[in-house]
Amino acid sequence: MEVKILGTAAGGGLPQWNCNCPNCQAVRASSAGVCWLNQSSIAVRANNQPWFLVNASPDVRQQLELLRDGKPVSIRSSPIAGILLTDAEIDHTTGLILLRESSEPLRVYGTDTVRIALTEGFPLLSTLAGYCGVKWSLLEPGIPINLGLDAANQLEVEAFPLAAKPPKYMRHKAVADEVWVVGFTFRASGKVMTYAPGLAQLDDTVLERFESSDCILIDGTCWQDDELVNLGIANRKAREMGHLPLSGAEGSIQHLAQLRHPRKILVHINNTNPILMANSQERQVVEKAGIEVGDDGLTIEL
Ligand code: MLT
Ligand code: MN
Ligand code: ZN
């Protein structure tokens, strides 16, 4: 299995257009070892078969260029076989509209809550119907499906529940305890990779899933629960936004540090998070715990 990080940053990217936090300022000044980062997305493939895009960010155009290899077979061809959605957040779905030039309906995989959100709240699916169209495939948590072409090229994906936080635009329609955010476990040739960019809490079931994966790409949105509140950027804490902070007594680092088997890489990192600064103390804490900070273009072979 091959996994490529296409976007390491959370929504807004780094720098974010209207942000003057220390990281955004540092990257504009090209100092402190911080580079521009695209918004949250990865690509996955097995046996050199076509890539699957996981989440379609507003940066999808340049992100898909990272997947180009070999000679094109025809004047128009897609570098991806389909798009899987972990949730219906704007930073994970807006890219769909940018793929409207597709000469075939886009093959999109997601849960029913995501489909409904993209129909009723942020109507990308009905909008795309006037362009290339969408062929929707339902992903039900706990029920793996094979994305591979045939039995010899299996690429299995299983969705699992992560958070009950609806996108802001669906808050008025949301039903309590509905699963709005899932993670994905991919399996191919005996290797296992789990992607969880929206981790609201870490219970034993999720930790066991992480421990039995060879690599995990996990939510690193905020360092502190009150990071955005302290900067005067938002009035909601990270937890209230469906993202477990990294630091603190019940933060994710202390749990992730206990995992023995998987390679652990943080993704969906908000531009305010000090771990993005290569020379920060917070970055050292993460690395000492055996956890890596993701980077755009990083390829993981399993
Ligand atoms: C999130 O990750 O919680 C969302 O992307 C936030 C947002 O874009 O409003
Ligand atoms: Mn996000
Ligand atoms: Zn910023």
Main-chain phi, psi angles of 152, to 5 degrees: -80, -15
For residue 120, give the DSSP letter. I
Distance 72 CA to ligand 1 centre (A): 35
**Token output for 208:** 């066991």
Could you give the CA distance from residue 82 to residue 61 in angstroms, rounded to a whole number? 15
* Pocket test residue of 91, 195, 237, 267 for ligand 1, highest count of atoms within 8 A of CB: 91
Alpha-carbon span 255 to 115, nearest angstrom? 32
CB 81, CB 148: distance < 8 Å:
no
Q: Read off the tokens for 41.
A: 């997305």
Nearest protein CA to atom 4 of ligand 1, as residue: 89
C-alpha 41/C-alpha 83 separation (Å) is 10
> How far is CA 249 from each of CA 224, 228, 232, 290, rounded to the nearest angstrom?
11, 19, 23, 18
pLDDT tens per residue, the chain (302 residues)? Answer: 999 999 999 999 999 999 999 999 999 997 655 689 999 999 999 999 999 999 999 999 999 999 998 788 899 999 999 999 999 999 999 999 999 999 999 999 999 999 999 999 999 999 999 999 999 999 999 999 999 988 888 999 999 999 999 999 999 987 777 999 999 999 999 999 999 999 999 999 999 999 999 999 999 999 999 999 999 999 999 999 999 999 999 999 999 999 999 999 999 999 999 999 999 999 999 999 999 999 999 999 99
For ligand 1, whether the C-beta of 234 sits within 6 Å is: no
Amino acid at 134: V
| AA letter at 98 | L
Measuring from atom 3 of ligand 1, which residue has the nearest CA? Answer: 241
- For the chain, how many residues are written? 302
Kind and range of the H or E element at 26? Answer: helix 22-28
- Can you say how many angstroms the Cα of residue 153 is from the centroid of all Cα atoms in its chain? 24
Q: Would the CB of 241 count as within 6 Å of ligand 1? A: yes
Does the C-beta of 67 come closer than 6 Å to ligand 1?
A: no
Strand, coil or helix: 112: helix
